[in-house]
Structure 1
Amino acid sequence: MTSGRPWVQAWRGGTYLLGSLVTGIATLLALPLLCHPRLARRWANWHRDRAGRLLETPLAPRPVLHVMGRRAWADPATPRDLLWLPVNAITGVALGLLALLCVGNLLTAAVATPLWWAFAPENRPRLFIDVPVTNWATAFTLGALQILLLTALAYLAFAPIARAHARICLVVLSHSAAEQLADRVAVLTRTRADVLDAHGAELRRIERDLHDGTQARLVAIAMRLAVARRALSDNPRNEQFLEELLRDAHEGTEEAMTELRDVIRSVYPPILADRGLTGALTAVTARCGVPTRLDIDNLDTVPAAVEAAVYFAVAEALTNVAKHSQATTAGVRVSRKADRLSVVITDNGAGGADDRLGTGLAGIRRRVLAFDGTVDVDSPAGGPTTIIMELPCGS
């Protein structure tokens, strides 16, 4: 909850605290049931995601606990999941009650100020805890003062208190250093396997393109030239036949060169070598079927492999925008901070993009992860869509 208007932050903080009160009470009531490791993991994951959304902090998903018995109790994260139960019960109820008292007394003052007279004398509302409202002077002075003070309190306190509770949640449920290292090794192992698979597939594609295309045409050219040579030695006056063979060989040579250039372009686009990343992205955005704005900061020197990855990723993303998004505008912003290159691609289309469906986004993610980068896709139904890629670009 680091952005947005203060009133929006106060509203989000208040709803978060009231929700924490409900979950704290639920934790107390269902404590014996929630002590089961698998249920504790689900409960903890839900609170962790909730805290991350409030703090607007992207969090890597925690795996659901599928094992049972001793293996579930031996899981390194189980003690933290169980620790969160009493912590949530205490902090959620305590901080949530503060928010409830503030909101409740604010509503009481809002009702008592104009409607105090509608209550029976023995049931007249009370302001500032124990001051009965018996006349208009009390209603307008104390009622207005209570509304003003409690509104100021909610405005100033709800957001920081909610953030404090969310941070407590993340601290309790954070991975230990050993688990972070293990997770990192697992991610690198998975991305390395993906890279090797992608590299093998790319090599097979290049070999297939060369074998089925360029090599086949070169063999045909060699055969025509051999026939032309034999025909020249057997009958040097058959000019028409020789001309046809040489023309076919010449055309085949040009076609082979075209196919060879296409293969080379798929490995490293020549436009990157000629015009750099800025010029290459300018050409890509200009060719996009959707009007696309391109913003590029000073990038300094970017490794060639990273340039190629960014070029292909942006090209694939804009192709998806033009084909599937129904967008009318798109944007690409490339910036660099220290040794991290950031690429943000946006469109105002229908949204719903999901790389788990095997779309081009999956290829983009594999390409970026190969460089130990990150990809974040935000594409709710109805749009808009935002793709954020970060790649290391240090020397």
Structure 2
Amino acid sequence: MRLRLLWHAIRYLLVGLPSAMATLLFVPLLALGLLSTGVGLGVVVLPRIVMGLRLWAEWHRRRAAALVNATISARQARLRQGIRAQWRQLLDDPEIRRDLRWIVRHIATGFPAGLVALMVVGMAVSSVIVAPFWWAFPVDEALTILAFPVTTWWQAIALGVPQLAAALALGWWVLPGLARLHARSCLAALEPSPVEQLAQRVGELTESRAGVLDAHGAELRRIERDLHDGTQAKLVAIAMRLGVAREMLNEDAGPLARLLSEAHESTEEAMTELRQVIRTMYPPILADRGLKGAVSAVAAGAGVPVEVSTDDLGRVPAAVEAAAYFIVAETITNVTRHSGATRATVRLSRRRDVLLIEVGDDGRGGIDESRGTGVAGIRKRAAAFDGRVQVHSPAGGPTTITVELPCAS
């Protein structure tokens, strides 16, 4: 097992020495590519040099991972279509900055590590293969072992054996650790830092959350449609039949009439409760009129005049739309009941991947969330989407509540 590790380490380090020399060539190539952008040639050539560097670094990355038994994922080494897209890739891709960082580290560590391996192998080869042929060297250029000239068999044995022992000891104890150290250095240069990994993970979670929101919104719409078109329609039909049956019975039908009456009333109550469930789950008005129309309907039914203004919101996931609708409805309800305002405003806008909701009023202000003013419920709805709520409500007013809901899709 140890001999296998030693063999892999020697092979890894000896290959690393000429590869470090070859990597050094990328420094003038990159410099020339960058300087030639002024005459137009580098605009085309530099991205291809960078992708060549990516392939070269990726080969070393796989070698390093194989040596230390690390699991790595393949990196993209393909240029985009179009010169502008390629330069945007050069400027935005963090992997390119890691490749440039790897050049410096590989040159700085590959040369000395490879020279140490070459020295150890040279010592062993000199002791085992060259020393027995000491007699073949000219007298004035005698073979030298451990800085001493070899002119007899006794000198060849006395000097060759300690040199071989030193080479074996260095190889046995130093080279495997040196190779692993170089491999980990290579992986550290080409792998994302903990901060970059965290940012990448946050991006992945944001993307997966967008997919979950889309699926959740689609499921809400499906359930709402099934309840509205299926269950509710059946309840309506049952209520109508029960109503007709009540009309057809005589007043002296006794218990049967009473049971039909109770069944009819219970069915109507069930329909009322079902409509309430549908409205709280996914308001039908959102499916019919969209977020803008739904918010306008809420404003129209408020107890105070409400001015609504909306920008182009683009595509908003259904779950975020529902949350925005309920946030506006709850805020307007709070304004009507508690603020003493004579007018209110609602503004919906979008800043990149964030839906911005601003609700203001000219009421008395002084919102105290510890008294259960309804803001806590708004914060919970926003927190479910990793959103933020800001409340500005000085005593005497006015009050402004700003809600930010991420809506990347």
* TM-score, normalised with respect to structure 2: 0.43
* TM-score, normalised with respect to structure 1: 0.44
